[in-house]
Chain A
Amino acid sequence: MTLRFLRNKLVEVEPCSDGTLDVFWRLTDDLLKVDARLKIQPPELEITEAEVRMDRFPPSVCQSAPELFEDIEGVTIGPGLRKIVHGLFSGPGGCSILADAVLESANAVILHFTRPAIQAGESVTDDEEKLANTRAMLSANPRLIRSCVAFQDDSPIMQGIEL
Chain B
Amino acid sequence: MITFNRSQVIGAEFPDGETVRFNGIQEDHIYGMEIQMDIRIYDGEILKIDGNMKRYTNFVCPSAIPVLQKAVGMSLKNDGWDKQVMREIGRKGCEHFAEIIIECGRCLRQALMSRDLTAALSEDPGLDQGQYLKNWEETHP
Q: Which residues of A contact B (CB under 8 A)?
A: 1-15, 29-32, 57, 59-60, 100, 104, 108-109, 111-112, 114-115, 118, 130, 134, 146-150, 152, 155-157
| A148 engages B93 (CB within 8 Å) | yes
- Would you mind naming 6 contact pairs between A and B with Cβ atoms under 8 Å apart? A4-B118, A5-B111, A108-B4, A108-B6, A130-B58, A150-B63
Chain B 6-46, CB-CB to A under 8 Å as 1, else 0, gives 11111111110000000000001110000000000000000
With the chains together, A3 CA to B92 CA distance in Å? Answer: 31
| A31 engages B133 (CB within 8 Å) | yes
B122 at interface, CB cutoff 8 A: no
Q: Which residues of B contact A (CB under 8 A)?
A: 1-15, 28-30, 57-58, 60-61, 63-64, 67, 90-95, 103, 106-107, 110-111, 113-115, 117-118, 129-130, 133-134, 137
**Residues on A with beta carbons closer than 8 Å to the beta carbon of B95:** 147-148
| B110 engages A12 (CB within 8 Å) | no
19 more A-B contacts (CB under 8 A) besides A5-B114, A7-B107, A29-B114? A2-B13, A4-B115, A8-B7, A10-B7, A11-B6, A14-B2, A30-B110, A30-B117, A60-B137, A115-B4, A118-B57, A134-B58, A147-B91, A148-B92, A148-B93, A149-B60, A149-B92, A150-B63, A152-B92
| B3 engages A115 (CB within 8 Å) | yes
| A146 engages B114 (CB within 8 Å) | no
* Given known contacts A13-B3, A31-B133, A150 and B61 CB-to-CB distance under 8 angstroms: yes
| A114 engages B30 (CB within 8 Å) | yes
With the chains together, A119 CA to B90 CA distance in Å? Answer: 23
